[in-house]
Structure 1
Amino acid sequence: MSSETSHPPLQRLVEFVNTRRADGDQIDTAETLSIWLRANDLLSADETVHDHHRARTLREGLRALLAANNADPVTSPRPDGLDPSAHTQLAALTATLPLTLDVTSTPPRLVPHSPDPLDRALTTLLADVATAVAAGSWPRLKACREPSCRWAFYDNSRNHARTWCSMDVCGNRVKVRAAQRRQTRVRA
C-alpha cells in the first residue's frame, strides 16, 4: 500500500484486507499467514499458526465492512469480489475472540486476551477497527466500488468522497462501460 495513511493500525487493516489480490492470496496457507503476521508485528518470531481459515474469514468480513463504508457498487459484467455471507461469518467469528479493556494503559485500549497466537493476532486487528471507529477514521477506510476489485484503501480526499482504489483503473472501467451503454442506447 502506498503511504495513504500514516496511522499504523489503519495501514495494517488495509494491508490485511489486501492480502487477497487478483494475482493470488498472500495468506492461503498457515505458513504464509504466519509470515504475514510476523511481518506486521502480530506474531512473535517463535510463534506459528496452524489454521489460516479464521484469518481469511476475518479478512473477507472486514472487506465487506469496508465496502459498506463506500457507495453502492456500480453495475459490472464481472462478478462481485464480496462474499455474500462474509458479514454473517465475521459476526460468528468475532463472538469467539476474547478482547478486554486494558485500563492500565494511557489511554485505556482494547487488547487481546488469549494464549492462542492466532486469536491474539485476529483480536488485535479487531482492536484496530475499534480504534479507527473511536478516532472517527473508520468511515475513511473503504473497499473499491468496482465489484470485481474491492481493493481496500484509505480515503484521504478532503470531502471523503473517493470511491475507487484507482481512478485510472477502476474509475476508468466504469466510465468506459457508461459510455458504451450510452452509445448502445443512441444506436437503438
Structure 2
Amino acid sequence: MPHTVEATPPALARLVEFVNTRRADGDIIGTPEQLTSWLRAHELLPEGTADTAARHRAERVREGLRALLATNNAEPVTSPRPDGLNPSARTELASLTAALPLTLDVTSTPPRLVPHTDEPVDHALATLLADVATAVAAGIWSRLKTCREPSCRWAFYDHSRNRGRTWCSMDVCGNRVKVRASHRRNAAR
C-alpha cells in the first residue's frame, strides 16, 4: 500500500502561513492594513483593526515562532549569507506571552486553550499561540520546522514518514548546500 502524504492540520497550516508572511520580496503584514487583511483572511479577526503597535507585536510573535520552529530542525548549515533568525526572538516572544494570555476553556469538548483578551489583534495572536499548544499536545509540533538554510528560514510542515525533512525545497536550498559543500571539497584538494 503506497504511503500517502497527510494533510497539514488547518491550525498548523495557518501557523506556517503566518511565519511565512516575511518573505524575500517583502512583508505581507508590513502595515497595519496588511496585518488586518491577513488576520481577516485567516478568520482570526472578525472585528477591529490593527494599529502600528499591534503590527509590531505581530512581527515579534512571528519572529519568535520562527525561532521556535527552527529548534525543531537540525542545526543550520554553514552559509556565507546571514542567518534569518533574530537572536533575541524567543526571549521577546516569552515576554509577549504575558500580554497574550490564554485560559483553559473547560466547557468545550475536548477542553482547549482560548485567548483571554478583549483586544481583537491580541486575541488573534493569542489564538496562534494556542495553536502551538494544541500541536504540542497532539505530538505534531516537531513536524513544524524552518528551513535549515540560514538565509532562508522558510517555515514548513514536515510530512516525511521519519520527520527528517530539513529543507523548504531540496531543489533550491538543499541544492545550495550541496553546491557549497562540493566547492569546499574541491578547494581542499
User: TM-score band (shorter)?
Assistant: over 0.9
Partner of 1:154: 157
- CA shift, 1:5, in A, is 3.4
Return structure 1 stretches of 4+ with deviation > 3 angstroms.
3-6
Partner of 2:137: 134
Is 1:90 paired with 2:93? yes
Structure 1 contact 5–11 (Cα < 8 Å) conserved: no
Q: Under a length normalisation based on structure 1, what TM-score does the superposition of the two structures give?
A: 0.95
Q: Distance in 1 between matches of 2:69 and 2:119?
A: 27
Structure 1 contact 5–154 (Cα < 8 Å) conserved: no
Change in CA separation of 1:4 and 1:25 when aligned onto 2, cut-off 3 Å: farther
Q: Distance in 1 between matches of 2:7 and 2:18?
A: 14
Partner of 2:21: 19
Q: Distance in 2 between matches of 1:5 and 1:78?
A: 33
Give 5+ residue unaligned stretches, structure 1: none
Aligned residues: 183
* Matched-pair identity in %: 73
Q: Distance in 1 between matches of 2:139 and 2:118?
A: 31
Structure 1 contact 70–163 (Cα < 8 Å) conserved: yes
- CA shift, 1:6, in A, is 3.5
SS in 2 for 1:127: helix
Residue identity in the other structure for 2:49:
T
The alignment yields a C-alpha RMSD, in angstroms, of 1.1
Give 5+ residue unaligned stretches, structure 2: none
Residue identity in the other structure for 1:33:
L
Structure 2 contact 75–148 (Cα < 8 Å) conserved: yes
Is 1:70 paired with 2:111? no
